[in-house]
Amino acid sequence: MFNFLSDKFSSMFGWIGKKHTLSKDDVDRVVDEIHDALIGADVPYEVVEEFTADLAEHVSTKIKKGTSPRDFLVKTVHSKLLDVLGHKEIQSSIDLVPPSITMMLGLQGSGKTTTIAKLTSMINKRSAKKGKRHRVLFASVDFQRPAAIDQLEVLATQVGAEFFRAPSTKTVEASKLILEHFKKSGCSYLFLDTAGRMHADDAMMAELKEVDAAVKPRNKVLVLDAMTGQESIAVARKFSDEVGFSGAILSKMDSDTRGGAAFSFRHCVKKPIFFVGCGEHNDDLESFVPDRAASRILGMGDLESLLERAEHAMKPAEKESHEGAARRFMSGNFTLNDFAMQLESLNSLGSLGKIASYLPGMQKVSPEALEKGQREMKKFKAILSSMTDKERLCPQILDFSRKKRISKGAGVETRDINGVLQKFEESQQFARMLKQNGQFKKLFR
């Protein structure tokens, strides 16, 4: 997500970082580089022109005393990005005060049906946190593809939602029957799936308007495939003019490394982006926070979203033991057991590549290096799980015969075990260092 732009910005800030002042040529170069980066990210030409013209007005050679050119530019570009991506005050979200109906809109294959499951998974987690459970109902008026409604039924089972199949295949009639069922059901939320088409044609718009009139949903959410680039803007405009919607969800942001879609959508349509889809699993939905997106674009990572992912990925019992492990980690007194637990919780966050994409400056790590890291982690896990509790608590008892037994159990060489022990020791030293400067305290709240 945004890797293309963050690479460009990182290299730009690289050369600016070496400067003590900004000349007129430097300013021109900055504006040109940002122009080219946005064009490369598939942002429409007129949007790029407008953005860079505005930026040029704010980037000057006069910098406040005590501020470095790099800091000045990061601050200015960040603030200009926020002007486009949206400021906190205006960022709203899907209205989920029960009973609430949300109707999904979007082209064929944009991700409407899978996004319903992702939203429900998010509702489930948020309700569970408050010790509540909300009943969610899924229904569909997608009569374009025979298997479309079955797909929604399967997803309903996966995320524990209720499912209703309207006893009619006429769109308006089915819509009315679904509404009636929802009112009687006592469910808190209804997600209504609609049929996608290849193009936002008049027949599709007419059908959606009819469904809209019959159901009067609280939320109409446009699901836009981030991979479709500039074309998605024309689609968003058409939906906005014809059916109207309250905000968008950008799907497939994990596959779109250029990241121009969010930028273009906000600039052209001015409606909020509620969430972004970042994978095919039901948990792969993230809130779209303009401030964090701007940080990512500038190559400064997004630790906040990583922390949120970590919190969601953990079950309450795990969380407690993780917090204990984190406390010991901070004190520098952690054991191999804690080490194993940290590896486990990293695993639940996804691949190393996914984790790296949230970290400042880590977008540049090569896929080969990440793959090697993933293999190492697997090896670590195998070794740690072949050890006894006593060995994990007091690794100093690991003599040759114990190491031989472990290497057999884990299918590794004894030198791999020495490698783990060395990494463990290094981690302890690292933790002590972190404790001294305290800068990563936030990571282990």
Ligand X SMILES: Nc1nc2c(ncn2[C@@H]2O[C@H](COP(=O)(O)OP(=O)(O)OP(=O)(O)O)[C@@H](O)[C@H]2O)c(=O)[nH]1
Least distance in angstroms from the C-beta of 251 to Mg ion: 11
Stretch that binds Mg ion, among 141-149, 212-220, 274-282, 287-295 (CB under 5 A): 141-149
Q: Select the binding partner of residue 222 from ligand X, Mg ion, none (C-beta < 5 to 8 A, by kind).
A: none
- Residue 89 tokens read as 């005050």
We find the least distance from the C-beta atom of residue 114 to Mg ion, in angstroms, to be 8
Binding site partner of 254, from Mg ion, ligand X, none, Cβ cut-off 5-8 A by kind = ligand X
CB 51 within 8 A of CB 260: no
Task: Give the 3-state secondary structure of residue 191.
Answer: strand
Q: Which is nearer to Mg ion, 117 or 325 (CB)?
A: 117
Least Cβ distance, residue 278 to Mg ion (angstroms)? 19
Closest-by-Cβ residue to Mg ion is 113
3-state secondary structure (DSSP) of residue 6: helix
Give the range of 5-13, 56-64, 148-156, 321-329 binding Mg ion by CB under 5 A: 148-156
Are 188 and 99 spatial neighbours (Cβ–Cβ below 8 Å)? yes
Interacting partner of 52 out of ligand X, Mg ion, none (Cβ under 5 to 8 A depending on kind): none
Least distance in angstroms from the C-beta of 3 to ligand X: 15
Q: Does 113 bind Mg ion (CB under 5 A)?
A: yes
Question: Which amino acid makes up residue 444?
Answer: F
Amino acid at 65: K
Pick between residue 87 and residue 145 the one whose CB is nearest to ligand X. 145
Helices then strands, counting H and E runs in the chain, come out as: 19, 8
Give least dist CB 371 to ligand X, A.
19
Question: Please, what is the minimum distance in Å from the beta carbon of residue 286 to ligand X?
Answer: 10
Considering the complex, state which of residue 142 and residue 391 has its C-beta at the smaller distance from ligand X: 142
What beta strand segments (E) does 263-312 contain?
273-277, 285-287
User: Edge-to-edge strand order for the sheet containing 162-164?
Assistant: 162-164, 136-140, 189-193, 100-105, 219-225, 247-251, 273-277, 285-287
**Long-range CB contacts for residues 333-336, cutoff 8 Å, separation at least 24:** 334/427, 334/428, 334/431, 335/392, 335/393, 336/384, 336/387, 336/391, 336/392, 336/393, 336/395, 336/424
- Give residues in contact with ligand X (CB under 6 A): 106, 108-114, 142, 145, 148, 196, 251-252, 254-255, 277-280, 284
**Residue 358 vs 424, nearer CB to ligand X:** 358
For the chain, the first-to-last Cα distance in angstroms comes to 26
The option from ligand X, Mg ion, none interacting with 84 (CB < 5 to 8 A, set by class) reads: none
Query: Residue numbers of the site for Mg ion (CB under 5 A)?
Result: 112-113, 148
